[in-house]
């Protein structure tokens, strides 16, 4: 690579700033390694920062993850590049070299104070992706209240270039001329922590997501249950009524060859049970029914959590949902096979349905490795070279994987996996000296 003087050198590149990436970066930084953490989103935090509470302890998710996020940003051995994309990585001797593109936010990261005055004057409103489209946001916006860095960004696709934000910004941070920045890097090891994608609920056409407004997916329910929820309570999106008979449809997009995802997502039973408990608190008069194929409560304290939920009168029906139809009043009719009662096809009416969407692999990072192939497993997750003996190793020597980039898993397992991967990375780097 030319421009040797411009190459930024680190010991490890961590790709992805979710809980796996943060945990691994912090572990390695504390061992004295210099880390570059590359996150494609505006903020670090991954999915965990958007969750309500976590099973089975019902601890507040943001309360656990925000201290970790701020520790990551304050750690002197960690350099963070948000809103950045890795373009290429190739092996050069004992190192990996490559290129990152830091995309323009059109707001100066160093001077923006996060005051949000720009949001107040922006006349454009579009769906807010961080609230999973339940409410709107402006064309210039702070991604979410606890984003790190807490810096605004302009969504140029929707901006009408009226200049209102520029006039009101007290720090003169708006810069419509900002260009993508190219960063050349050299690192000794790479740790992939790029997480998972959420199953697109619209692909299960027979469940009506996208057509019936009162059919929502589990991340939308997480957002309705967080303390900073967009509405002050849980509401049906169609008419703003408070639901009193909510159904959960488990295995939406998991264990389902018809949508190309035959495996169990491991977390949906437990997050649905968790949400049912939280709903009992938010809407004490509401009925909650969970339609399931099997309940997989396999972790420590999970079975007790499930039993507790049954004791709270959440109804569990062993039945596969065939289709959902909307009635005139916005209520939903569920057609299901009642497995425990002779497999009869039955119907049930609910006023809101939550689809317990599964996890899908996010393997886009494989395409940036230029000279050696980063192999995928049969389910399209990053292949763990030896899943039993050494789950952090990938098909490329010096490249490691942690968290849900390798397989569906919950937060405690993700943290364990990040711990194991960081120990492997440290061992690998030391073995080269």
- What residue ranges bind ligand FAD (CB under 6 A)? 15-21, 38-41, 46-48, 51, 54-55, 86, 193-196, 198, 218-219, 222, 267, 271, 274, 362, 364-365, 403-404, 409-412, 414
Residue closer to ligand FAD (CB basis): 225 or 317: 225
Residue closer to ligand FAD (CB basis): 348 or 354: 354
Q: How far apart are CA 398 and CA 227, in angstroms?
A: 41
Residue closer to ligand FAD (CB basis): 117 or 263: 263
Q: How far is the CB of 99 from ligand FAD (least distance, A)?
A: 13
- 171 DSSP 8-state letter: T
How many Cα atoms occupy the beta-carbon half-sphere of 39 within 13 Å? 26
Element (H, E) at 109: none
Backbone angles phi, psi at 359, to 5 degrees: -100, 140
Q: How far is the CB of 83 from ligand FAD (least distance, A)?
A: 10
Element (H, E) at 272: helix 268-282
> For residue 227, which of 380, 52, 86, 71 has the smallest C-alpha distance?
52
| 364 C-beta neighbours (distance < 10 Å), count | 12
Q: How far is the CB of 408 from ligand FAD (least distance, A)?
A: 8
| DSSP string computed for 293-319 | S-----STTHHHHHHHHHHTT-EEEEE
Residue closer to ligand FAD (CB basis): 25 or 426: 25
Residue closer to ligand FAD (CB basis): 122 or 251: 251
Residue closer to ligand FAD (CB basis): 334 or 359: 359
Q: How far is the CB of 107 from ligand FAD (least distance, A)?
A: 19
Q: Are strands 359-361 and 287-292 parallel, antiparallel or unpaired?
A: unpaired
Residues across the chain: 433
Q: How far is the CB of 247 from ligand FAD (least distance, A)?
A: 16
Q: How far apart are CA 26 and CA 71, in angstroms?
A: 8
Q: How far apart are CA 334 and CA 148, in angstroms?
A: 41
Q: How far apart are CA 174 and CA 193, in angstroms?
A: 32
Residue closer to ligand FAD (CB basis): 349 or 364: 364
Which tokens belong to 79?
A: 């350099």
Q: How far apart are CA 333 and CA 180, in angstroms?
A: 50
Residue closer to ligand FAD (CB basis): 40 or 150: 40
Which tokens belong to 264?
A: 């169990």
Q: How far is the CB of 433 from ligand FAD (least distance, A)?
A: 28
Q: How far is the CB of 221 from ligand FAD (least distance, A)?
A: 7
Q: How far is the CB of 21 from ligand FAD (least distance, A)?
A: 6
Q: How far apart are CA 209 and CA 227, in angstroms?
A: 25
């Amino acid at each position: 690579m030319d421009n040797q003087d411009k190459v930024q050198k680190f010991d490890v590149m961590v790709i992805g700033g979710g809980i796996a990436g943060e945990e691994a970066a912090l572990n390695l930084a504390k061992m004295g390694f210099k880390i570059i953490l590359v996150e494609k989103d505006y903020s670090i935090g991954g999915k965990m920062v958007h969750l309500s509470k976590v099973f089975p302890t019902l601890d507040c998710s943001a309360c656990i993850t925000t201290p970790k996020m701020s520790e990551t940003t304050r750690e002197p051995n960690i350099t963070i590049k948000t809103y950045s994309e890795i373009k290429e990585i190739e092996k050069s001797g004992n190192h990996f070299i490559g290129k990152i593109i830091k995309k323009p936010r059109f707001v100066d990261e160093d001077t923006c104070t996060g005051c949000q005055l720009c949001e107040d004057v922006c006349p454009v409103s579009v769906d807010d992706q961080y609230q999973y489209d339940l409410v709107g946001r402006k064309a210039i916006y702070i991604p979410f209240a606890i984003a790190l860095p807490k810096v605004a960004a302009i969504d140029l696709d929707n901006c009408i270039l009226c200049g209102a934000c520029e006039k009101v910004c007290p720090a003169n941070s708006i810069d419509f001329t900002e260009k993508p920045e190219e960063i050349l890097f050299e690192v000794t090891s790479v740790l992939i922590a790029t997480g998972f994608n959420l199953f697109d609920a619209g692909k299960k056409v027979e469940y009506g997501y996208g057509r019936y407004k009162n059919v929502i997916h589990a991340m939308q329910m997480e957002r309705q249950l967080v303390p900073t929820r967009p509405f002050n309570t849980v509401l049906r999106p169609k008419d703003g009524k408070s639901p009193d008979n909510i159904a959960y449809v488990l295995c939406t997009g998991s264990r389902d060859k018809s949508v190309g995802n035959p495996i169990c997502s491991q977390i949906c039973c437990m997050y649905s049970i968790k949400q049912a408990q939280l709903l009992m608190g938010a809407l004490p008069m509401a009925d909650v029914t969970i339609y399931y194929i099997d309940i997989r409560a396999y972790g420590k304290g999970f079975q007790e959590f499930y039993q507790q939920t049954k004791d709270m009168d959440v109804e569990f029906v062993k039945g596969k949902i065939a289709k959902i139809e909307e009635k005139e009043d916005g209520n939903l009719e569920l057609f299901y096979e009642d497995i425990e009662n002779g497999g009869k096809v039955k119907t049930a009416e609910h006023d809101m349905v939550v689809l317990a969407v599964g996890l899908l692999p996010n393997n886009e990072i494989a395409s940036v490795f230029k000279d050696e192939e980063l192999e995928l497993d049969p389910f399209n997750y990053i292949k763990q070279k030896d899943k039993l003996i050494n789950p952090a190793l990938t098909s490329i020597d010096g490249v490691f994987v942690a968290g849900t980039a390798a397989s569906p898993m919950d937060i405690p397992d993700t943290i364990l996996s990040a711990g194991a991967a960081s120990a492997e990375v440290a061992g690998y780097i030391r073995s080269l000296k």
